[in-house]
Amino acid sequence: MKRFEFKDALYIKKGKVLPVANEEREHIGFIEKVDISGCEKGHGFTFTDNDGTTVAIGIQKRGIKNLLAATYLIKTTNETYTLKDKVGNSLLYFCVEGNIDGKNIRVEENWSKEVEVKVDHTHIATIRPADFSFHTIILVEDNLCESSILFAVVVLMYFMYKIYKNESEFIEDILFD
């Protein structure tokens, strides 16, 4: 597996750039916080690789009907994809499913508090969220290209996971305090 990492922050402001580096500490792209049309303010991010290709992800604006289950919009230059919280599972742990370029994708939290990404039931990546060092580590299969949309989605799903964790902690505090 190939290893990538970036230094996270407690709060990312618009305009702040988080470089993503490979095992040799070479920057392969960067992450930015952005506003995305049709998405909740403050819940949009982009990954831009060294070739200038940008993939954006954000949480679609929610209403009463979809308050508990988020829809994630993924935008490239030519396409828009959607992933959704798996109803039922998302109340207990982070679990997102959808389809990108005809491939089924599933992103879910495991018992070790890591996030696993599976495409067509094959494990392709593991995201190890930042600890006290604030270094987030991403392990991906050797055949996953850094300029692919799937790689960008893997990198960006970390931020959707962070938003989910913050919101679920908030709801838990309200319910159990």
What's 130's domain CATH number?
2.40.160
Q: What share of the chain in percent tops pLDDT 70? A: 89
pLDDT of the residue at 92:
72
- Which pLDDT tens digit goes with each residue over 58-72? 999 887 656 668 899
C-alpha distances (whole Å) from 134 to each of 6, 7, 87, 130, 173 are 8, 6, 30, 5, 24
Enclosing domain of residue 75 = 2-176
Instruction: Count the domains in the chain.
Output: 1
pLDDT at position 74 = 97
In Å, how far are 64, 139, 142, 144 from 151, measured between CA atoms?
Answer: 32, 10, 11, 7
- Quick one: pLDDT at residue 93? 81
Low-confidence residues of the chain: pLDDT under 70:
10, 64-68, 88-91, 169-177
